[in-house]
Structure 1
Amino acid sequence: MPDADFQNNPPLILVVDNEKAFRLLLQRAMEKEGYRFAEACNGQHCLDICQQQPLDMVLLDAMMPGMDGFACCAKMRAILGDDCPPVLMITSLGDRKSIHRAFEVGATDYITKPIDWEVLRQRVHRLVAYKGAMTEVRHKIQRECQLTVQLEEVNRELQSLACFDNLTKLANRRYFDEYLQRE
């Protein structure tokens, strides 16, 4: 990722796993790729961090004591809504039911242990790029909405100028003709 913004502000990835050794492995892999790293040891800790700071991605273990990754992912989606970062579920569960459940609760992607590090690297890269693209699209939509509101306001003002005399504030011939046409 030779992007200048990536160099100045690398994406922040949260790794959630109850095993410290696995979090350390993922930390090293993410830092090697140039990402910033945060960690959480369980689902509740993950939710707390997600509400405190914006994240670019979450690597989430499915099997944890207390709140598992499935419940955590569902709550994260419910709490953060459109602001929820992409969630890559990482687990040793490879059966269809678990995979289906992960996507059902809102995981963006799914990878099984033992991890193929090249596959992980590519998926993280793709999901971080996806988040950036979605953020850009949301900003463009907001801008278009603002422009639409401004355009409607200017059109109303223009309609007023076209139908009322500026000096006397009385309806002009154009207004009369439009009113007559409507009636």
Structure 2
Amino acid sequence: MNTVLASNKPSLILVVDNEPFARIQLRLSLEQEGYQIVEAEDGREALTVFKQQQPDIVLLDALMPGMDGFECCTQLQRLPNGQTTPVLMITGLDDQESVDRAFAVGAVDYVTKPVHWAVLRQRVRRLIQQSQLQQQQAQLQQQLEVANRDLQRLASTDGLTQVANRRCFDEALQQEHR
């Protein structure tokens, strides 16, 4: 099983569905895969749990009383880390309009009920892996930017005196000349 983050803790999945039986099925199935599960029964509770727990992925039902899954997904996108956390919409709706709407509000994948468990398992695993890779890329990008700033400073400063060196002088002269 490849369900663990680089920090060796199980990936956290937020399951949002107003039907208790559906949540239980998802929780039991995903716990067997080694995931840690938190649940919410509607969109409002999902937003609260998301802020508190910062899950690695959200499995979201589209049809719920109060705040439906489409509005919840829209609100999730506005939260810190909301745009980088994948949302997988799980619903009984299989019409083109619902599918298009789900992707338009920020869902990255869409699965219809009744759930095909083997497909869901693979999609969850793939989405978590992609999310982890994006996080790693962002961290590497930050490290690269810091290293480039350090290299720029080292290339333009004398190591002994910490004063601008000849290269820095030549660059400043060329810039002023322009």
In structure 1, runs of 5+ residues without a counterpart are 165-173
Higher helix share: 1
**Which is further off, 39-48 or 74-83?**
74-83
What is the distance in 2 between the residues matched to 1:104 and 1:17? Answer: 20
Q: Which residue of 1 aligns with 2:28?
A: 28
Of 154, 160, 166, the match for 1:162? 166
Larger deviation, residues 45-54 vs 5-14: 5-14
Please tell me whether residue 182 in structure 1 is matched to residue 177 in structure 2.
yes
SS for the counterpart of 1:80 is coil
Deviates most, 28-37 or 76-85: 76-85
Any gaps of 5 or more consecutive residues in structure 2?
Answer: none
Letter in 2 for 1:162: R
Q: Which amino acid aligns with 1:160?
A: A
* Paired-residue identity, %: 40
Contact kept, 8 Å, 1:57 with 1:86, in 2: the verdict is yes
TM-score (norm 2): 0.86
SS of corresponding position for 1:107 = coil
TM-score normalised per structure 1: 0.84
Q: How does 1:73-84 map to 2 (within 5 A)?
A: 73-81=73-81, 84=84
Q: In 1, are the aligned partners of 2:84 and 2:131 still within 8 Å (CA)?
A: no
Q: Give SS of 2:67's match.
A: coil
- AA aligned opposite 2:153: E
Q: Point out the structure with max Rg over C-alpha.
A: 1
CA–CA separation in structure 2 for the residues paired with 1:163 and 1:106? 48
Q: Residue type of the partner of 1:161?
A: N
How many residues of Structure 1 are paired with residues of Structure 2 in the alignment? 171
Secondary structure of the residue aligned to 1:110 is strand
